[in-house]
Amino acid sequence: MTPGYTDDKAKILARLKRIEGQVRGLQRMVDEDTYCIDVLTQVSATTRALQAVALELLDDHLGHCVHDAIASGGEDAAAKVKEATDAIARLVKS
């Protein structure tokens, strides 16, 4: 089974590389003793960027993996719905 994000893979990788740059920037800010609030502001921006990627992956998972499993029916459908529900719960807690 191919991942639900296959069609968006390049876009997701680009976003993750941008986030990687943000994290490197945070390391630089701490290394350079940047003011706490400025670092926290960037941590918040990085967290929001990661959340956006997570939501996109979840949307792709629901639209592809869960949808296909439900269309096929059987126990796999219930398992995919439970898997998605668990992922949503993890995202809400974070």
The pLDDT value given to residue 6: 81
Angle, alpha carbons 56-61-62 (nearest 5°): 100
Neighbour-count burial of 69, counting CB atoms closer than 10 A to its CB (0-12 exposed, 13-18 middle, 19+ buried): buried
Q: How many H-runs (helices) and E-runs (strands) does the chain carry?
A: 4, 0
Domain boundaries, the chain: 7-93
The pLDDT value given to residue 3: 77
Structure tokens at 39: 């670092």
Structure tokens at 26: 């945070």
Considering the domain delimited by 7-93, tell me its CATH architecture.
Up-down Bundle (1.20)
Q: Print pLDDT tens along the chain (94 aa).
A: 677 788 889 999 999 999 999 999 999 999 999 999 999 999 999 999 999 999 999 999 999 989 999 998 888 899 999 999 999 999 999 7
The pLDDT value given to residue 74: 82
